[in-house]
């Protein structure tokens, strides 16, 4: 019997398969650093103390922590399929992710979720899936598919499904939308993620009483504190476009720290390469005054507790040997990563290969009515609502500006930092196109087009002239999804994202190189340094559940009023 064998190994009567010698163990239960060996058999920790193994590995007094857990991530935002994603995050110490595949679900529905689950089984990274709750996010946009409460019931018991993804339709929760509550009921007994920016008071009470447990949208300490008081777990997010860890770390204290987790939400591969993944969240928190062991707890046991994940998140007997080895308790520069006792990464390099899954149901998803597209923005007044960007955030503000017109059509003025924005429906060839204006992006003499446009992932295009915008559209159609940069009628570069128009099976090094080159190009085209990530910032301009003003294929959307509005100021 295995249990008898394990007891003998744990007692020291038999050798373990593997023993990590001379470890400074981060004990997330006691909050201490514990000196000792870690004995491992069958990928399970047998014990801590003095042990002998068939294989012994001296970590030379380095720190050993549990594998880091990303509490909320959209793998698709890395533009990589799960096998390629695993190869960039595991060398940073991430051994488990809680993934919400609502990006691919908006494009390919339940088949997209199944694709993410299946392709994730071919990698050592544990990918646990939250079934998307809002596909589409609202009725004010056109997605490729709709996921209903009956769809959720069908997939809720699939292997790897953990719970219900972020419930972005908070008005539907608060005011009793029947289908929203049917989705909540369909996941009865499972974890339900929240998405509740700026929510407070009775609205927050109504949201939480519906069974929603987490939130990753806090931007202020006071917002975080109120939600903790009401029983929520709060995820401190550090992605490419939205960066909240530094601010929220100021509110971390011994009384509330066990209700706090980390996540990345949306992060590009170049940023993961240069900064890190969850290890970067830990480092930032420490730099902003959080005790190092507390920060590691937030990246491990807190997340495991919140999501009811058994046997991960700690270094203790019976826990899986998901381990991260590093030299400095402050820097968290990862040297070695073990998954179930196997060495999977060393010195920032993955030591495993991943089998790529090809699924025709997530290919050839760009379907544009090219013959009837016009970017003419017709106005009855030159006083208009403009989407103003906010530094390091995906929220926007609504500002009123006077713009130039000619024969009732908007004309770009180089003296104004205002660009035309278009969202073109690309799933069903409806011909829908929403047009608006954006301030603070800074692009000159060109256009950028992407099929990454949260959450319905229609084609989003920003530019200062219609010719370049049309050339960018045509390039996206040619490559069947991705990113295209155009200037003076010439395609400067493009990245093909063949899986749903949002991911690629290309090697991560190819994607990193492409994104780096494309960002250099758009900076030369004038995109402001105040726009931290030019592509993610653009992608979120179509998400109609994050305040204040956004654009969908159906038109300009005021998130505060939760309705489509005229662009002219009334």
Q: How far apart are the C-alpha atoms of 52 and 124, rounded to whole Å?
A: 26
Beta strands in 497-567 (DSSP E): 549-552, 555-558, 563-564
Structure tokens, 496: 């093909």
pLDDT of residue 526: 94
Q: How far apart are the C-alpha atoms of 183 and 519, rounded to whole Å?
A: 39
The CATH fold of domain 2-61: Urease, subunit C; domain 1 (2.30.40)
Size of the chain in residues: 570
- The strand pairing partners of 167, in sequence order, are 194
Closest CA to 223 of 201, 243, 194, 208: 201
Domain chopping of the chain, boundaries: 2-61, 68-313, 363-564
pTM over 0.95? The answer is no
DSSP-derived pairing of the beta strands 233-237 and 214-215: parallel
pLDDT in tens, the chain (570 residues): 799 999 999 999 999 999 999 999 999 999 999 999 999 999 999 999 999 999 999 999 999 999 999 999 999 999 999 999 999 999 999 999 999 999 999 999 999 999 999 999 889 999 999 999 999 988 899 999 999 999 999 999 999 999 999 998 888 999 999 999 999 999 999 999 999 989 999 999 999 999 999 999 999 999 999 999 999 999 999 998 789 999 999 999 999 999 999 999 999 898 999 999 999 999 999 999 999 999 999 999 999 999 999 999 999 999 999 999 999 999 999 999 999 999 999 999 999 987 777 788 899 999 998 888 999 999 999 999 999 998 877 889 999 999 999 999 999 999 999 999 999 999 999 999 999 999 999 999 999 999 999 989 999 999 999 999 999 999 999 999 999 999 999 999 999 999 999 999 998 889 989 999 999 999 999 998 888 789 989 999 999 988 899 999 999 999 989 899 999 997
DSSP-derived pairing of the beta strands 32-41 and 44-49: antiparallel
The contacts of residue 524 (CB under 8 Å, 6+ apart) are none
Structure tokens, 338: 């073990």
The single-letter DSSP state of residue 370 is G
Closest CA to 77 of 58, 97, 91: 97
Q: How far apart are the C-alpha atoms of 116 and 109, rounded to whole Å?
A: 11
| 513-550 residue pLDDT tens | 999 999 999 999 999 888 878 998 999 999 998 889 99
Give kind and range of the element (H or E) at residue 98: strand 94-99
Is the distance from CB of 268 to CB of 535 less than 8 angstroms? yes
Q: How far apart are the C-alpha atoms of 48 and 31, rounded to whole Å?
A: 16
The contacts of residue 55 (CB under 8 Å, 6+ apart) are 17, 18, 19
Q: How far apart are the C-alpha atoms of 183 and 153, rounded to whole Å?
A: 8
Phi-psi region of 204 (alpha: psi -120 to 50; beta: other; left: phi over 0): alpha
In 3-state terms the chain splits into helix, strand, coil percentages (rounded to 5) of 30, 30, 40
CATH 3.40.50.300 fits 68-313, yes or no: no
Is the distance from CB of 502 to CB of 103 less than 8 angstroms? yes
Task: Please tell me whether residue 184 adopts helix, strand or coil conformation.
Answer: helix
Q: How far apart are the C-alpha atoms of 263 and 324, rounded to whole Å?
A: 17
Q: How far apart are the C-alpha atoms of 439 and 447, rounded to whole Å?
A: 15
Distance set, CA 270 to CA 47, 166, 288, 352 (Å)? 38, 26, 24, 20
Triad 373, 379, 384: Cα angle to 5° = 115
- The strand pairing partners of 66, in sequence order, are 323
Tell me whether residue 283 is exposed, middle or buried, using C-beta atoms within 10 angstroms of its C-beta: 0 to 12, 13 to 18, 19 or more: buried
Q: How far apart are the C-alpha atoms of 215 and 234, rounded to whole Å?
A: 5
Distance set, CA 352 to CA 14, 57, 344, 348 (Å)? 30, 19, 6, 12
My answer on whether omega of the bond before 107 falls inside 30° of 0, hence cis, is: no
Give kind and range of the element (H or E) at residue 183: helix 178-186
Give kind and range of the element (H or E) at residue 434: strand 433-439
Q: How far apart are the C-alpha atoms of 102 and 456, rounded to whole Å?
A: 9
The DSSP-derived string for 27-65 is: ETTTTEEEEEEEEEETTEEEEEES--EEEEEE-TT-EEE
């Amino acid at each position: 019997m295995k249990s008898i064998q394990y007891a003998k190994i744990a007692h020291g009567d038999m050798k373990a398969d593997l023993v990590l010698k001379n470890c400074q163990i981060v004990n997330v239960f006691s909050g201490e650093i514990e000196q000792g060996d870690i004995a491992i058999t069958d990928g399970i920790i047998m014990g801590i103390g003095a042990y002998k193994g068939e294989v012994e590995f001296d970590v030379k007094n380095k720190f050993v922590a549990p594998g880091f857990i990303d509490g909320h991530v959209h793998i698709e935002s890395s533009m990589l399929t799960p096998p390629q994603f695993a190869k960039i995050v595991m060398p940073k110490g991430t051994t488990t992710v809680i993934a919400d595949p609502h990006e691919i679900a908006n494009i390919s529905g339940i088949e997209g979720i199944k694709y993410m689950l299946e392709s994730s089984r071919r990698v050592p990274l544990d990918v646990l899936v939250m079934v998307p709750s809002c596909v589409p996010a609202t009725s004010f946009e056109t997605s490729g598919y709709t996921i209903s409460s009956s769809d959720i019931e069908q997939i809720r018991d699939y292997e790897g499904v953990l719970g219900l993804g972020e419930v972005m339709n908070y008005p539907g929760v608060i005011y009793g939308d029947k289908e929203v509550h049917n989705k909540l009921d369909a996941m009865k007994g499972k974890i339900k993620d929240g998405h509740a920016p700026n929510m407070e008071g009775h609205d927050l009470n109504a949201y939480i009483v519906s069974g929603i447990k987490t939130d990753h949208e806090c931007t202020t300490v006071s917002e975080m504190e109120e939600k903790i008081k009401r029983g929520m777990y709060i995820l401190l997010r550090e992605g490419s476009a939205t960066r909240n860890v530094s601010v929220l770390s100021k509110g971390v204290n011994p009384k509330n720290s066990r209700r706090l987790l980390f996540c990345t939400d949306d992060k590009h591969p170049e940023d993961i390469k240069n900064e890190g993944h969850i290890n970067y969240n830990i480092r930032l928190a420490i730099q902003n005054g959080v005790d190092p062991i507390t920060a590691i707890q937030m990246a491990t046991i807190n997340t495991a507790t919140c999501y009811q994940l058994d046997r991960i998140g700690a270094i203790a007997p019976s826990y899986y040997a998901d381990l991260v080895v590093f030299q400095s308790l402050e820097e968290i520069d990862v040297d070695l990563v073990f998954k179930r006792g196997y060495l999977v990464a060393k010195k920032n390099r993955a030591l495993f290969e991943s089998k790529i899954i090809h699924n025709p149901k997530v290919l050839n998803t760009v379907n544009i009515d090219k013959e009837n597209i016009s970017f003419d923005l017709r106005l009855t007044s030159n006083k208009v609502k403009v989407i103003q960007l906010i530094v390091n955030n995906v929220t926007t503000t609504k500002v009123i500006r006077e713009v130039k017109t000619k024969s009732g059509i908007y004309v770009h003025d180089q003296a104004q930092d205002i660009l035309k924005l278009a969202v073109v429906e690309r799933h069903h060839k409806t011909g829908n196109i929403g047009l608006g204006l954006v301030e603070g992006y800074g692009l000159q003499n060109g256009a950028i087009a992407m099929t990454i446009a949260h959450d319905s992932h229609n084609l989003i295009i920003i530019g200062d002239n219609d010719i370049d915008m049309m050339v960018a559209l045509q390039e996206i159609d040619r490559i069947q999804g991705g990113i295209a940069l155009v200037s003076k009628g010439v395609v400067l570069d493009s990245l093909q994202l063949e899986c749903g128009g949002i991911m690629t099976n290309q090697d991560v090094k190819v994607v990193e190189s492409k994104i780096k080159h494309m960002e250099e190009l758009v900076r030369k085209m004038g995109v402001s340094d105040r726009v931290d990530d030019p592509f993610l910032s653009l992608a979120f301009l179509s998400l109609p559940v994050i305040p204040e003003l956004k654009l969908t294929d159906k038109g300009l959307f005021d998130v505060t009023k939760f309705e489509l509005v005229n662009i002219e100021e009334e």
